[in-house]
Amino acid sequence: MRSRARARLPIISRALLHLALSATGRRKVSDPRRILITHHLLLGDTLMLTPLLAKLRTLYPQAEIVVTAPKAIAPLYEKRPYGVIAWPFDPYDSATVAAMFPKAGFDLAISAADNRHSWLALALGSRWIVAHAGDRPGYKSWPVDELIPYPEKPAAWGDLVAMLVDGPPPPPYEPRDWPAPAWTPFELPRPPYAVLHVGASTPLKLWEPYKWQAVAKQLANRGLSVIWSGGKGEIQIVAEVDPTGKYPSYAGQLDLPQLWQLIQNAALLVAPDTGVAHLGRVTGTPAVVLFGPGSDVLFGSGDFWRNSPFRAVTVRDFHCRDQRTVFKREIHWVRTCERSSAECAAPACMHAIEVDVVLSAIDAVMYQRVASHDIAPSGGWAPLPEGNAQAAPT
């Protein structure tokens, strides 16, 4: 039986006990041997914690590093990227909480994004807890020993999370840093193919069907097979994009390790700013990502992912991308939109993205891979002449 109250009660009771026992003095450990990262984020936000994992492993090569992860996402960590162990966690499932208690005892804990999970870190006997300042309401941060403000200068969110730990930035990401998880075999498309992931976490990130059709046609004309992708609840979205079923669809058919394989073996991924786009970054797949309400500064490549074959497509300074909130923190340099469908009748910011700009970004990212000799030209793909590759305007 799923119950948030049932899962939360043992966390709060154990956290208060640990707080009472350590009331005489909590202290920061200079060389932590066990490190915990607590969160319960969506796929994209979870993957954007990777710079923090890389930095911790670089700083503390002998430490045991544990990260909580939603049950559906935890299998992606099966091969222990950066030597990290993932503990499945569901704040509505008391069994996932109970499974952690016998393995409690950490020198350092980092609560990512939502500070409410600092209570879990305290319940697990963490001697020092770090998190970003400014979360609301204030009681979520009561267990935190060290509150660090967001920086004054713009940066990618993954790089910001890594700044919660002192030390130089980690080396840039390489796909070999994260081995592919085990997966249940399924029939992969015949290469070379492009994955067009048309679903998103909100209707306000959906692109118009006729534009997807135009991109699909151009890719097919240039030698790539087109594959539609979407989540379990997004089969209808694919049907609206391709009502005649001209191209194969994997929507709703794959779990995350299988989706990893589909994307890793693709010549190209095109997607809105959603979790699958970040999965493409982890697999090293050339990706073009459409940013409507989201910020390409916050959720783009940043420093850690700078070597990734990635192009962001957005309309810079769109008039209603005017909110400054990130995980309930007010950040002066942020420009994003977290409005709901009830507040916004149609995603004007997504509709403003034109097909030719997306095609230009595709040319640029494919040319980047061909020019660097990472891949050979696929099928009939004709890369842009050297010096003429165009990055999509942002």
Mean pLDDT in the chain?
Answer: 92
If you search the block for the tokens 């041997």, which residue do you land on? 33
Beta pairing class for 325-326 and 329-330? antiparallel
> Residue 25's pLDDT is what?
72
Q: Cα–chain-centroid distance for residue 300?
A: 10
pLDDT in tens, 329-366: 999 999 999 999 999 989 999 999 999 999 999 999 98
> Residue 26's pLDDT is what?
85
DSSP codes of every residue in 84-125: EEEEE--TT-HHHHHTTGGG--BSEEEE-S-GGGHHHHHHTT
Domains along the chain? 4-171 (3.40.50.2000), 193-371 (3.40.50.2000)
**42 C-beta neighbours (distance < 10 Å), count:** 15
Q: Residue 358, SS3?
A: helix
> Residue 371's pLDDT is what?
52
- Please give the Cα distance from 320 to 339 (Å, whole number): 10
Q: Give the pair of three-digit tokens for residue 31.
A: 């060389």
- pLDDT tier at 19, thresholds 50, 70, 90: confident
Mean pLDDT of the region 207-231: 97
Please answer whether residues 273 and 291 qualify as being in contact, where contact means their C-beta atoms are separated by less than 8 angstroms.
yes
Beta pairing class for 329-330 and 310-314? unpaired
Percent of the chain with pLDDT over 70: 92
pTM value is 0.93
pLDDT of 384 above 80: no
pLDDT of 391 above 80: no
Please answer whether residues 156 and 298 qualify as being in contact, where contact means their C-beta atoms are separated by less than 8 angstroms.
yes
> Residue 382's pLDDT is what?
54
**158 C-beta neighbours (distance < 10 Å), count:** 27
Q: Cα–chain-centroid distance for residue 88?
A: 17
> Residue 376's pLDDT is what?
46
Helix axes 209-221, 355-371, angle to 10 degrees: 40
More confident residue, 8 or 379: 8
Mean pLDDT of the region 269-286: 97
